Structure 1
Amino acid sequence: MADTLVKICGLQDVEVLKSMKRLPLDYIGFVFAPSRRRVTPVQAAELVAELSAWEAGKAPGAAGVFVNPGLEELRELLATVPLDVIQLHGSESAAFCREVKQAFPQVKVWKAISVAGTSQAGDSDGNDNVVSYAGSVDALLLDTYDPQGSGGSGRTFDWGQIPVFQAAAEAHGLPLFVAGGLHPDNVTELLEVYSPDGVDVSSGVESGGIKDLDKMTSFVERVKQS
């Protein structure tokens, strides 16, 4: 079984990023949507430049988090910031995701699917959601429904809904990431019960709104040892 991929999202500070260089991470996320973790293209370019000096194996990929961007916005940003992943967290349609893939073939496209906090939607919705994006994206990410649409809620959803999405994603060859309220004390349970392809964490490895190296280290160790 392949190692579970780890993405730490919401990096803003170069010194914090430098402190993380010994962590075996797969992706680092930079938020371009309205958020307290939002970075400018210039800030992001400085942060991404630090990834080339990573000390723990292969340098992590750079993922940009967007909510309902336009193609021109993405084009302008990619001219400044060399992203590996465009992560779409809004109401972007499958048709728009295809447009993004065609416009930027060198960049992977991930689509976040919002999941209700409790199981209310019924099994078919999970399957239909995945099927609608099959062929239009490179990966899917489950996150807790956020009415503000700010690119992440920091709360968990009902994990009992994961298997429906997981089965559909696997049938279409799509990696499935899980986000939403993850932290060092609950990620092991998620991995043992559901074995997603990847996990995405932000606020769960912070103290006082700042990325905490001890929490990040603990999170990554628990994922990679599971």
Structure 2
Amino acid sequence: MIRKSTSKKSTAIKICGITKTSQAKSIAQFKINAIGVIGVKNSPRFVAEEECIKIFNEVEKVSSEIEKVFVIANEKLETIKCINNRSNPPSVIQLHGDESVDYCRELKNEFPTIKLWKAFRIKSINDLKIISQYEKDVDAILLDAWDDKSLGGTGKRVPKEFLLNKTFQAPWILAGGISAEIIPEIFSKLRPDGIDASSRLEVSPGIKDLKKVESLVRKIREQN
């Protein structure tokens, strides 16, 4: 569950770009808050429908409290309406493309029982200005680093100076180049409601180094 922090002890942890059921189970056992699976076909971490369902089923076996996040980008609404027919649908849809406010509103109406997170790729401080338009129509916002070749999973970081003294109405999640080593630096200046990590924890795209995942989780819990 990602919610607005009311104390220092509430930063949620999401591990994204999971591609293997065995890793999903192991990572879920670290008592994280959310696991993300990529449904963007040109991503090196793309997971097909059948495997995505298996991963979410494995997470559900460990804990029904862990958010099952399905990450998509610039999809036609018609192509994602079938996900409610799954035996174990995602608990969150994360939009990682250039989706409009109207798109978010329509998707929220289509899936009232599924949470909606909207990602924003931050290239300059001006990119933060459009976020307020979305906040009342989504359940959380995710801030990731800009890259001209990839929508995410690049290992690049959002400049922290952009976020100093910045507040949001919706819960906000920090992504981009997250690893255990930089957590103390992040928490010394910022207090995100959630932390989202992927590429810096990997052996190769979609394959996590479980020791790095565990180290990240432990470091965040220490800071909290």
TM-score, normalised to structure 2, is: 0.89
Counterparts in 2 of 1:149 and 1:72: CA distance versus 1, 3 Å: farther
Output the CA distance in 1 between the equivalents of 2:194 and 2:72.
Answer: 19
Please point out which of 218, 223, 226 is paired with 2:220.
223
Q: Does the 8 Å CA contact 1:184/1:204 hold for their aligned counterparts? A: no
Output the CA distance in 1 between the equivalents of 2:190 and 2:100.
Answer: 27
1:199 paired residue number = 195
Output the CA distance in 1 between the equivalents of 2:43 and 2:84.
Answer: 20
Q: Does the 8 Å CA contact 2:28/2:66 hold for their aligned counterparts? A: no
1:164-206 Cα offsets, whole Å, 9 max, x none, are: 6x41x1xx2x001000111111122112310100010001111
2:3 paired residue number = none
Task: Say which SS state the counterpart of residue 46 (structure 1) adopts.
Answer: helix
Deviating more after overlay: 130-139 vs 70-79 = 70-79
Q: Does the 8 Å CA contact 1:146/1:152 hold for their aligned counterparts? A: no
Q: Runs of 5+ in structure 1 lacking a partner?
A: none
1:48-97 Cα offsets, whole Å, 9 max, x none, are: 01112216xx6311001111111111112342351111100110011110
2:186 paired residue number = 190
Q: Does the 8 Å CA contact 2:119/2:142 hold for their aligned counterparts? A: yes
Number of aligned residue pairs: 213
Greater RCO (CA < 8 Å, at least 6 residues apart): 2
Output the CA distance in 2 between the equivalents of 1:71 and 1:181.
Answer: 30
Aligned-pair RMSD on alpha carbons? 1.7
Alignment of 1:7 with 2:7, yes or no, is no
The CA deviation at 1:149 is: 4.3
Counterparts in 2 of 1:134 and 1:150: CA distance versus 1, 3 Å: closer
2:69 maps to a residue whose letter is A
Q: Does the 8 Å CA contact 2:164/2:189 hold for their aligned counterparts? A: no
Output the CA distance in 1 between the equivalents of 2:96 and 2:37.
Answer: 13
Q: Does the 8 Å CA contact 2:18/2:37 hold for their aligned counterparts? A: yes
Q: Does the 8 Å CA contact 1:20/1:213 hold for their aligned counterparts? A: yes
Task: Say which SS state the counterpart of residue 49 (structure 1) adopts.
Answer: helix
The CA deviation at 1:142 is: 0.5
What percentage of residue pairs aligned between the two structures are identical? 31
Deviating more after overlay: 82-91 vs 147-156 = 147-156
Alignment of 1:132 with 2:133, yes or no, is yes
1:73 paired residue number = 79
Matches within 5 A, 1:27-176: 27-33=34-40, 34-54=42-62, 59-80=65-86, 82-116=89-123, 120-122=124-126, 125-126=127-128, 128-163=129-164, 166-167=166-167, 169=168, 172=169, 174-176=170-172
Output the CA distance in 1 between the equivalents of 2:182 and 2:143.
Answer: 16
Q: Does the 8 Å CA contact 2:135/2:141 hold for their aligned counterparts? A: no
Task: Say which SS state the counterpart of residue 185 (structure 1) adopts.
Answer: helix
Q: Does the 8 Å CA contact 1:143/1:180 hold for their aligned counterparts? A: yes
Q: Runs of 5+ in structure 2 lacking a partner?
A: 1-6
Output the CA distance in 2 between the equivalents of 1:150 and 1:50.
Answer: 27
1:125-174 Cα offsets, whole Å, 9 max, x none, are: 52x3221112111111100112234344321121111136x41x1xx2x0
2:53 maps to a residue whose letter is A
Task: Say which SS state the counterpart of residue 153 (structure 1) adopts.
Answer: coil
